[in-house]
Amino acid sequence: MSTAVAAADRTPVASPRGETIVEFENVWKRYSGRDVLTGVNLTIRRGEVLCILGPSGTGKSVALRHINGLTQPDDGDVRVFGSSVVGLTEEELSPVRRRVAMLFQGGALFDSMNVEQNIAFPVREHGERPPEEIAAIVAEKLTMVGLPGVQRKMPAELSGGMRKRVALARSIALEPDIILYDEPTTGLDPLTSEKIAQLIVDLNVRLQTTSVVVTHDIVTARTVATRLAFLHQGRFQFVGTFDEAARGGHPVLMEYFRSMGFPCGTGVFQVPKGV
Amino acid sequence: MPLTQQQPSATAIFYRNLRWLRFVDRFGRKGQQTVEYLGGLIQLIGQTLASCFSRPFYSTEVLHQMDELGVKSVSITGITALFTGMVLALQTAYSLEAFGGKIFIGRVVSLSLVRELGPVLTALMVGGRVGSGITAEIGSMTVTEQVDALRAMAISPIRRLVVPRVLATVLMMPVLTAIADVLGILGGLGIAVLELQMTAQDYITSIWQQLQISDIGSGLSKTIFFGLEIAAIGCYNGLQVEGGAASVGRATTRTVVLASISILVSDFFLTKLFLAL
């Protein structure tokens, strides 16, 4: 079944004036003697798909990991659901992490478990449920990501794209309010990338979640993004819609668009279909 | 008035001592790294012990690890002890034969094995097999972000990964050592009877006269500490891995080296402690 909704056809669920769900305030982060984030400010609104775009190594994933407290800032504040996640212990972060799922770059599936055990894992960990109910949740989530019936397979038997889908099914198992995607299409062929991108859009609408997608791929960004945030030299240099960016955003962003083969800055922005 | 010799300038002194300064600097950095490492390790042990006594418990995982880390180590520790017992019998006979001391073979073999060689050799073998295995597994999980995935799902990697491995190793070490002690003594018996023309009766009587419950107790108690050291070092090095496959390899080597050293060093202090008790 294909319930994927193309970016162009879907009705935007995020009101531009939606409630703020995540907020970065003057966040600084230093890694091995290098300033990665230098006073980052950003607000993410409920229901939108915010795409953090930028070249490799600019600290996009680092910024993303601040949202669920996997990384703590050196300075500044990050507020999720209205309360700060800075300086909290792992135990104190638990309530936030249960509502914020994360899809890791390589999927991060547990190799010692099969697909069903992987998806059931967070469900079993957070509450007692009968086995039939867990099996039903697993089957439902697998159908949602378009991979019904692979419960018994081991992660090593899956292709890169399938692994990402199973990991995505595991992320949505607890029905999170926010899903963080770290490079969801990296290492996949263009066709699979596009399918994953459409799945992200589709899930955002169906599960009524907020999504934050880190990518360096403009094609993915075009498909998924309600808004773009361009990270360069440790700060978000541009935040706005894809069309606004293409009409004329930050000069480096323009350069980035052109290097990826997207004509832009001409006033009339047309992306050829099928890119 | 004789001319006084001109004093060397501060810069000259600095350059003359540069080699020493570099040495001191490098030494200081190494010292700092060692202190940081030990601090991290002790912190992990503290968190692990605290987590052992509060929910959630992963009892199935503990049993699985007892099988994986303990039961599957029986052959390697058993063979080690068996041949050590055989060699001890041969060497003791060689040294004591001139003094007519063959009747002491049972005593020497059993006492050496139960008090010292059984626990230490078992720990060294387990340190090599289990410690390296733990680091390789947790290290690979760290580089493939599986440990972060656990944290992101609000599941503590310490409870889920570290506690079951530490508990399994601590519980299985005395069992493995007891098996090793028995096999080592049997190895000695085999040599005494087949090579040294002793009767099994003499060998066993000699053991019976000498061996005390306290000898067995001190030998087995030590292994609980060895188990804790091996598993804690294995887990800590695994969680500290950064980068890719090469770092996992380096961390695994470091575990074997550090676990072996810590077993030998702590054995000295534990022996002193138990002798004083």
Pairing of strands A178-182, A210-215: parallel
Tell me, what DSSP letter sits at residue A157? G
Instruction: Indicate yes or no: CB of B156 within 8 angstroms of CB of A90.
Output: yes
Closest of A168, A222, A231 to residue A199, by C-alpha: A168
Tell me the three-class secondary structure of A17-49, residue by residue: CCCEEEEEEEEEEEECCEEEEEEEEEEEECCCE
Least confident of A144-148, A263-267, B21-25: A263-267
- Tokens representing residue B204 in the block: 């066993």
Q: What percent of chain B has pLDDT over 90?
A: 55
Task: Look at the block and give the residue holding tokens 């067995």.
Answer: B216
Nearest CA in chain B to A121: B153
Closest of A197, A161, A204, A160 to residue A179, by C-alpha: A204
DSSP 3-state of A147: coil
Contact at 8 Å (CB) between A90 and B135? no
- Tokens representing residue B176 in the block: 């493995």
Instruction: Indicate yes or no: CB of B153 within 8 angstroms of CB of A90.
Output: no
Determine the residue type at A29: K
Cα A118 to chain centroid, rounded: 20
- Tokens representing residue B276 in the block: 């004083």
What secondary structure does DSSP assign to B168-218, as a single string? HHHHHHHHHHHHHHHHHHHHHHHHHHHTS---HHHHHHHHHHH--HHHHHH
Determine the residue type at B119: P
What pLDDT digit, counting tens, does each position of B126-143 carry? 999 999 999 999 999 999
pLDDT in the model for residue B2 = 55
Contacts of B99 (CB under 8 A, 6+ apart): none
What pLDDT digit, counting tens, does each position of A158-171 carry? 888 888 889 989 99
What pLDDT digit, counting tens, does each position of A183-195 carry? 888 888 888 888 8
Beta strand residue intervals within chain A, DSSP E: 20-31, 34-45, 49-53, 75-80, 83-84, 100-103, 178-182, 210-215, 227-232, 235-240
Residues of chain A neighbouring B154 (CB-CB closer than 8 A): 93-95, 97-98, 125-126
Mean pLDDT over B149-176 rounds to 93
pLDDT of A253 higher than 90:
no
Instruction: Indicate yes or no: CB of B146 within 8 angstroms of CB of A108.
Output: yes
Tell me, what DSSP letter sits at residue B87? H
Least confident of A3-7, A108-112, A113-117, B100-104: A3-7
By the CB < 8 Å criterion, does B21 face chain A?
A: no
Closest of B265, B259, B264, B266 to residue B127, by C-alpha: B259
Q: CA of B238: how far to CAs of A32, A53, A66, B156, in Å?
A: 20, 32, 23, 15
Instruction: Indicate yes or no: CB of A98 within 8 angstroms of CB of B154.
Output: yes
Residues of chain A neighbouring B148 (CB-CB closer than 8 A): 70, 104, 108
pLDDT in the model for residue B15 = 80
Please classify residue B173 by burial: count the beta carbons closer than 10 Å to its beta carbon, then call 0-12 exposed, 13-18 middle and 19+ buried: buried
By the CB < 8 Å criterion, does B154 face chain A?
A: yes
Element holding A245 (H helix, E strand):
helix A242-248
Beta bridge partners of A37: A29
pLDDT in the model for residue A241 = 86
Beta bridge partners of A50: A212, A227
Mean pLDDT over A61-76 rounds to 91
- Tokens representing residue B260 in the block: 């072996």
Determine the residue type at A121: F
Beta bridge partners of A83: A80
Kindly give the interhelix angle for B213-239 and B18-52, rounded to the nearest 10 degrees: 110
Least confident of A30-34, B142-146, B174-178: A30-34
Cis peptide before B2 (omega within 30 of 0): no
pLDDT of A263 higher than 80:
no
Give the closest of B146, B148, B152 to A110, CB-based.
Answer: B146
Q: What percent of chain A has pLDDT over 90?
A: 21
Shortest distance between the Cα of B148 and any Cα of chain A, in A, equals 7
Instruction: Indicate yes or no: CB of A68 within 8 angstroms of CB of B152.
Output: yes
Please classify residue B162 by burial: count the beta carbons closer than 10 Å to its beta carbon, then call 0-12 exposed, 13-18 middle and 19+ buried: buried
- Measured distance CA(B98)–CA(A47) in Å, rounded: 90
Mean pLDDT over A137-164 rounds to 88
Closest of A77, A9, A21 to residue A48, by C-alpha: A21
Closest of A219, A109, A204 to residue A165, by C-alpha: A109
- Measured distance CA(A137)–CA(A170) in Å, rounded: 10
Tell me, what DSSP letter sits at residue A96? H
Compute, in degrees rounded to 10, the torsion defined by CA atoms B14, B16, B21, B26: 140
Confidence at A265, pLDDT banded by 50, 70, 90: low
pLDDT in the model for residue B23 = 83
Q: How far apart are the first and last CA of chain A?
A: 23
Closest of B267, B258, B271, B257 to residue B226, by C-alpha: B267
pLDDT of A102 higher than 80:
yes
Q: How far apart are the first and last CA of chain B?
A: 74
pTM value?
Answer: 0.84
Least confident of B30-34, B50-54, B130-134: B50-54
The dihedral built from the CA positions of residue B183, B217, B110 and B212, taken in this order, carries a sign that is negative
Shortest distance between the Cα of A108 and any Cα of chain B, in A, equals 5
DSSP 3-state of A102: strand
- Measured distance CA(B261)–CA(B254) in Å, rounded: 11
- Tokens representing residue A64 in the block: 């993303």
Confidence at A10, pLDDT banded by 50, 70, 90: very low
The dihedral built from the CA positions of residue B97, B103, B108 and B114, taken in this order, carries a sign that is positive
- Measured distance CA(A121)–CA(A110) in Å, rounded: 10
- Measured distance CA(A177)–CA(B211) in Å, rounded: 66
pLDDT in the model for residue A1 = 39
